[in-house]
A and B are shown apart, each in its own frame.
Chain A
Amino acid sequence: MAHPSSYQPKSGFERWLDARLPLLRMMHDQFLVFPTPRNLNYWWTFGGILTFMLAAQIATGVVLAMHYIPSEAHAFDSVEKIMRDVNWGWLLRYSHAVGASMFFLAVYIHTFRGLYYGSYKAPREVLWILGVLILLLMIATAFMGYSLPWGQMSFWAVTVITNLFSSLDMVIPGLGTTLVEWIWGGFAVGEPTLNRLYSLHYLFPFIIAGVVVLHIWALHIPGSNNPTGIEVKTAKDTVPFHPYYTIKDGFALVLFIMLFAGFVFYAPNFLGHPDNYIPANPLQTPPHIVPEWYFLPFYAILRAIPNKLLGVIALVSSIGILFFVPWLDTSRVRSTRYRPVYKWFFWAFVLTCIALGYLGSQPPEGWYLTFGRIFTFYYFAFFLLVMPVVGKLERPRPLPGSITESVLGPEPARAPPKSTSSRRVREEVA
């Protein structure tokens, strides 16, 4: 939030640096004293968790890259060498593999939080769009990373997904095939494909980091949204980011790391697929090719459409549509907390995503396919029908007068006895 700088250089060096590169001023104003709504709940802690996950993935990934060999002949064995002969290699690799899942778990919660509280609405459209861009980059990065162990699922996932581009043959004959061969670097998925996927898998996280900087910048112009969705009105509505949110985000992060560590140490392969411990074999197609769990809803959407090209368009649109959410939602209020009708549609959408995830893991036949189509319809209807129409028709519940009022109750003159009010405070703040 734009606010007057309160930075006071304490030493000669700080004054000297401040006149040349006001880095410490920026840290002070944007991180320490940054005015943040006082009523953010734990759903707001996932931004910090995601920053940690990106750093963790880069740190483990950089060391893994020192031992990994991107070649058809050695990729699988070099991963096993990391597991067996590299000091703490098993910890690095399991942290990186499970870390991808945790990263997606956190980013999905973060996205649903933004959707629920209307964090995409003016003046935070650019913030939201940058977030969707990060999600897209994450999907690309995770997909490329999954190919690197060069197991059966790696190989066949690459084959299936790159082949999606061949659907462009239906638009201009030959275009798709040419594009696919260009991506492969040959006439089949092979060593050139693996090498470029590896190169890009190393590059993309740094692009993500760059967009994250923009995302945080765009956050710090309007400031954080909050569960009420109403704007900050007075200084009383905010608290300095430090220590209030450093400590709250820190606590949530420790809990999240416990979940993460639980998987790494006790069920490291639970989120993976056994077939990826079989070395890639271009001559043997696995009976069911399934992506990692975090792609299953999109996979279900792809397969719900009988036409290949339209299926690919639906797949791309399922994420692309998020870019338009700020203009699809016509509601006057941000937070779903004050939207009695929309609330039901929102939770139905969450259930739809979970159901699509389940259906994505099942063979596309019979009832699975029927339900896949019903849920795919609702997935898009939520954005294209519910958001514009319900926003216009619904009458929102009355909003609190201010953020402070939503936390501490109405003004003191009319305030209920102190004991009740402090209990309410605890509920809201905890």
Chain B
Amino acid sequence: MLSRCAIAAMALALLLPASTSAETQGNHAPEIKSQSWSFAPPFGTYDRAQLKRGFQVYKSICANCHSMRLLSYRNLGEPGGPEFSEKAVETIASQVQITDGPNEKGEMFQRPGRPSDRFRSPFANDQLARAANQGALPPDLSVMAKARPGGPDYIYALLTGYQPVPEGFQLAPGMHYNTAFPGHQIAMPPLLQDGAVKYSDGTAPTLDNYARDVAAFLMWAAEPKLEERHKTGARVMIFLLVFAVIMYLAKRSVWARLHHRDASHTA
């Protein structure tokens, strides 16, 4: 009975991958290869050094156009993330100028950022962002790693997916050819190139590493409680497993009273 029950549950669950894969099968279906990540379930954790490098890539390249408005500088020092030191977080925050106010004279003023500030957006509004990017709006990256089928795999594939335009492909002016992007035409130029960012921890400064590191960083940004989730999950699952065994044995012993015709059930 139980196995039949489990099979039925699985059959229903099988409906779901079908529905998600359907999304990627649009026209010009991009091929998103699955990568191996340190944070993969069930026990994965983030690689601190990788997140730090990823932040460095974001800060020096991506942040020129892409906002991350849901994150605060303090997040960079919180457990389960890049875990920058308190001092480092203060330094990072103080490098940006934040518009604050109004002060007692009723005027807005500029001040250095604090850890409690949200990541400063590169553009004041979407219109300005479009005007600076030939009409294209660079999307906010706060939850990007959850907002596209494939998540970090997609981000990695996109950043490493720039290729020369194939013959016969009609590329609109100002666009770039990218194998991972739906439709293969993307407005974002391939700014991430070998050597574009200087790593200080000995990691090779290659496009492949940049893409991998920034994808991991964006995954953390989208899912900052992932480590806590995996850790809690392990405890909950162990508890439930033991609980299930106890319940099963208790159920068997209670029902054993019934296994004879003359047994009384009013025990």
User: A and B, one complex?
Assistant: yes
Interface residues of A (CB under 8 A from B): 38, 41-43, 77, 80, 83-84, 90-91, 94, 105, 108-109, 239-240, 243-244, 247-248, 250-251, 254-255, 257-259, 261-262, 264-271, 273-275, 277-278, 287-288, 290, 293, 296, 354, 357-358, 360-363, 404, 408, 412, 422, 425-426, 429-430
Of the listed stretches B52-60, B201-209, B250-258, chain A binds B250-258
The listed residue (A84, A109, A261) touching B236 by CB distance below 8 A is A261
Q: Is B233 an interface position by the 8 A CB rule?
A: yes
Nearest CB of chain B from residue A10's CB, rounded to whole Å: 18
Q: Which residue of B lies closest to A277 (CB)?
A: B147
Chain A residues near B1 (CB, 8 Å)? 41-43, 430
Q: Which of A247, A262, A265, A275 contacts B147 (CB 8 A)?
A: A275
Whether the Cβ atoms of B146 and A269 lie closer than 8 Å is yes
18 contacts between A and B (CB under 8 A): A38-B258, A83-B224, A84-B224, A90-B225, A239-B265, A240-B265, A247-B254, A254-B240, A261-B240, A265-B229, A266-B42, A267-B41, A274-B23, A277-B147, A288-B26, A358-B18, A429-B259, A430-B2
Distance in Å from the Cβ of A226 to the closest Cβ of chain B? Answer: 14
Using known A-B contacts A250-B247, A290-B19, A430-B1, determine if residue A274 contacts B240 with beta carbons closer than 8 Å: no
Query: Given the complex, which residues of B lie within 8 Å of A288, measured CB to CB?
Result: 22-23, 26
Q: What is the interface residue range for chain B against chain A? A: 35 or more
Q: Hey, which chain A residues are within 8 Å of B146, CB to CB? A: 269, 274, 277
Which one of B225, B241, B247 lies within 8 Å of A83 (CB-CB)? B225
Taking a contact as CB atoms closer than 8 A, the residue among A243, A269, A425 that contacts B254 in the complex is A243
C-alpha spacing A361/B18, complex, angstroms = 7
Q: Which of B4-12, B105-113, B127-135, B160-168 sits within the interface?
A: B4-12
**Which one, B16, B26, B75, B224, contacts A287 given CB within 8 A?**
B26
Main secondary structure of the interface of B (DSSP, over half): helix
Cα A243 to Cα B230 with chains together (Å): 35
Q: Are A361 and B26 in contact (CB under 8 A)?
A: no
Contact A290 B237 (CB under 8 A): no
Q: Which of B8, B26, B41, B237 has most A Cβ within 10 Å?
A: B8
Q: Is the interface of A mostly helix, strand, loop or mixed?
A: helix
User: Is the C-beta of B67 less than 8 angstroms from some C-beta in chain A?
Assistant: no
A425 with B22: CB separation less than 8 A: no
Cβ contact within 8 Å between B41 and A361: no
> Is B148 touching A293 in the complex (CB atoms < 8 A)?
no
Q: A41-B1, A361-B15 are in contact. Are A261 and B237 (CB under 8 A)?
A: yes
In the assembled complex, the CB of A412 is this many whole angstroms from the nearest CB of chain B, namely 6
Contact B247 A247 (CB under 8 A): yes
Interface residues of B in 185-203 (CB under 8 A from A): none
Q: Are A426 and B259 in contact (CB under 8 A)?
A: yes
Most interface-central of A38, A277, A287, A408 (chain B CB within 10 A): A277
The reply on B179 being an interface residue by CB < 8 A is: no
A430–B143 CA distance with the chains assembled, in angstroms? 46
The answer to whether A354 touches B255 (Cβ under 8 A) is no
Instruction: Let me know if B12 and A265 touch, CB within 8 A.
Output: no
Measured CB to CB, the closest approach of chain B to A185, in angstroms, equals 26
Q: Is the CB of B12 within 8 A of A108?
A: yes
